[in-house]
Amino acid sequence: MRRVRRAATIDDVAREAGVSRQTVSNVLNAPGVVREATKARVRLAIDRLGYAPHASARRLRTQRSSTIGVHLDPFAGGISGVVLDRFVHALTERASDRGLRVLVYSARGPQEEIARLRDLREGGEIDAAVITGTFSGDPRIGWLDAHGVPFVSFGRPWGNEPSDGPPHLWVDVDGASGTRAATEHALVTAGADVAFLGWPAGSATGDDRERGWREAMVAAGAAEGARLFAEDDVQAARLVALRAFAAGAPDAIVCASDTLAVGAHLAAVSAGLAELPIIGFDNTPVAEALGLASVEQRPEEVAAGVLELLMGDSGRVIAPRAVASDAPGAPSRSHVLVTPRLVVR
């Protein structure tokens, strides 16, 4: 047995057990992928060396409080706020089932959020964080990286990926796939003239949702339909749709959000087009109440993806896309892309 005077590291354990560092990590984080005999050898080495995974590894289960910190925005109202809330519900439920805790915190901006994260981290109250609403140059990501706080982002980094080092962990919903499915449905059931109502260009999420519509139109050989743009506001969307109807109504409208869809629906009703097929995005209670079809983000699958990335479990997320991983042979993915689901009404 190798004597280690300083605190044992994961490398010490690997040498002691005669396995790679990655295998030790797998035993700690994804034991399901390691053979029993190997697992037993690594665990024996861990016990012998008194290795405390706290000190080194970056994954949740190897640390102290088993608590995940989740930012909860001040309630802003609006139709689609429910999506993030559903995600928090689902994360809480799944985390509770696994004996993990979810601690929610509030902050009015990125700097305040960093201050909260610092408090929680220094107090040993959280082992990992889930952040939402990342943006280009997001200072939270730099802080989390610099302080070695494991985190998963709900939402792609859209250009914030580190140029060196391991990729960030993220889970996102494949918006283009959602609008593609919505457009294909409209082409089959309504007609070839499917318009798109989105947000003004420059929103990565919005551009992605527009792309899905465009790709479906091109694939079907349909003439390119009208592209309409409005801020994410019912009245703004209503006015844009009304103006469009004055020049002739399309066969259907695929929208980047339920808010836009409600605006288009109100315009359609007042223009005598109450039966015009309008498909929203987010499948909120509003869409359900108005009987509008909508693309469902499946926040439960997003929550499962977050826990998978944090805990190394797998097989729960439907149709994810596996990309680069943080070490050769590592069992877990570094991100999960959830395929949304069209709810037809």
Applying CB under 8 A, the residues found at the interface with a copy of itself are: 67, 72-75, 77-79, 81-82, 85-86, 88-90, 92-93, 95-97, 101-107, 116, 120, 125, 234, 259, 262, 284-286, 288-290, 299
Residues 186 and 213 sit within 8 Å (Cβ to Cβ):
no
- Given the complex with a copy of itself, which of 241 and 286 has the nearer CB atom? 286
CB of 304 to a copy of itself, least distance (A): 14
CB of 21 to a copy of itself, least distance (A): 28
Q: Look at residues 264, 290, 275, 306 and name the one whose alpha carbon lies nearest to residue 343.
A: 290
Give the length of the chain: 345
CB of 61 to a copy of itself, least distance (A): 16
Q: Is 20 exposed, middle or buried (0-12, 13-18, 19+ CB in 10 A)?
A: middle
CB of 242 to a copy of itself, least distance (A): 16
- Given the complex with a copy of itself, which of 62 and 259 has the nearer CB atom? 259
DSSP assignments along 119-161, one per residue: HHHHTT--SEEEEES--TT-HHHHHHHHTT--EEEES--TT--
CB of 236 to a copy of itself, least distance (A): 13
- Given the complex with a copy of itself, which of 204 and 242 has the nearer CB atom? 242
- Given the complex with a copy of itself, which of 204 and 266 has the nearer CB atom? 266
Could you tell me the two tokens for 187? 């082409």
CB of 221 to a copy of itself, least distance (A): 36
- Given the complex with a copy of itself, which of 42 and 70 has the nearer CB atom? 70
CB of 286 to a copy of itself, least distance (A): 5
Q: Is 239 exposed, middle or buried (0-12, 13-18, 19+ CB in 10 A)?
A: middle
CA distances (Å), origin 318, targets 182, 303, 321, 322, 339? 19, 12, 9, 12, 7
Distance from C-alpha of 45 to C-alpha of 68, rounded to nearest angstrom: 29
DSSP assignments along 271-315, one per residue: TT-TT--EEEES--HHHHHHT-EEEE--HHHHHHHHHHHHH---S
Contacts for 338 with CB less than 8 Å, ≥ 6 apart? 171, 172, 173, 174, 297, 298, 301, 302, 305, 317, 318, 319, 320
CB of 266 to a copy of itself, least distance (A): 8
Q: Is 203 exposed, middle or buried (0-12, 13-18, 19+ CB in 10 A)?
A: middle
Could you tell me the two tokens for 257? 């959000």
- Given the complex with a copy of itself, which of 118 and 227 has the nearer CB atom? 118
CB of 84 to a copy of itself, least distance (A): 9
Q: Sign of the CA dihedral 137, 139, 144, 145?
A: positive
- Given the complex with a copy of itself, which of 72 and 323 has the nearer CB atom? 72
- Given the complex with a copy of itself, which of 77 and 248 has the nearer CB atom? 77
- Given the complex with a copy of itself, which of 7 and 104 has the nearer CB atom? 104
Distance from C-alpha of 105 to C-alpha of 128, rounded to nearest angstrom: 13
Phi, psi (degrees; rounded to nearest 5) at 87 = -60, -45
CB of 259 to a copy of itself, least distance (A): 8
- Given the complex with a copy of itself, which of 72 and 344 has the nearer CB atom? 72
